[in-house]
Amino acid sequence: MIDFMVIALPRTATTWASNWLTTDNTLCLHDPLYTWHYNQLDGLVSKKSLGVSCTGLNWFSEWVNKHPARKVILHRDISEINESLIELGLPALDDDAEKRLDSIQGVHLDWQDLFDAPKRMYEYLLERPFDEERHAALRDIQMQPQFEGLTINKEAVSKLYNELRSI
């Protein structure tokens, strides 16, 4: 079962957060909706406390809000997000993206808190003391998904797209 979630829009350091929140006792999956439908996430098995850092779950806020996991919702200025997406050759986000994120219940924080004020987030999500040494080691590392090597489960993604078409 998913124990914790970081939910954000793209270009909000979710790749970095998934690495940071993967420890000796936790496993944080980045953007799991490329591989599994959200209804499958609680069926994933791990010997560790399981979490997700996801840019797609904002589309499924009703499911997220019903889920018992501890949640942090990260916010970044939409113009910065869109500028970064366009720079990568990706489309800008729609006008409702921020509204979807705002509708999710949990602890809402600025994305820069990952780097500048991480203790509260870490201890809330992982329910353990903040690992200052690990954070310091990772803080200045920029991480990006390897889009070229990304494995996509076409069945799971198709199911998600079909749901989105009906919204």
CATH label of the domain that carries residue 79: 3.40.50.300
- Residue 100: which H helix or E strand, with range? helix 97-102
| Cα(98)–Cα(47) distance, integer angstroms | 35
Residue whose token pair is 């098995």: 45
Number of structural domains the chain divides into: 1
For residue range 111-150, what is the model confidence (pLDDT) as tens digits?
Answer: 999 999 999 999 999 999 999 999 999 988 877 766 566 5
Taking only the tens place, the pLDDT of each residue in 10-64 is 999 999 999 999 999 999 999 999 899 999 999 999 999 999 999 999 999 999 9
Residue-number span of the structural domain to which 16 is assigned: 2-165
Residue 21's H or E segment, with its range, is none
Q: Cite the DSSP H helix spans in the chain.
A: 14-20, 61-66, 78-87, 97-102, 113-116, 119-126, 132-138, 154-165
Query: What's the pTM value of the predicted model, to 2 decimals?
Result: 0.86
